[in-house]
Amino acid sequence: MARAVDVATYILDREGEMSAMKLQKLVYYSQAWSLVWDDRPLFDDRIPHPLYTSSECNARAMV
């Protein structure tokens, strides 16, 4: 099974340079579509939702 970094590397190889936020979103959505189409995860790594930074996630967890 691939790792999240493998998916990110594949995307960068195909699409070229992009912002970290865009790459994170594409990796996140790749995982989502794999779950929809193949009924299984593309990778086992946990990744945060691309719209929240770690500080926002921590702030939301405290509420």
Neighbours of 8 (CB within 10 A): 17
Q: Return the domain boundaries, the chain.
A: 4-62
Q: Does 53 have pLDDT greater than 90?
A: no
Q: What is residue 31's predicted lDDT score, i.e. its pLDDT?
A: 95
Supply the DSSP string of the chain, one letter for each residue. -B-HHHHHHHHHHHH----HHHHHHHHHHHHHHHHHHHSS-SB------TTS-HHHHHHHHH-
pLDDT per residue as tens digits for the range 14-51:
999 999 889 999 999 999 999 999 999 999 998 877 66
Q: What is residue 52's predicted lDDT score, i.e. its pLDDT?
A: 63
Cβ neighbours of residue 24 under 8 Å, at least 6 residues apart? 47, 48, 50
Amino acid, res. 26: L
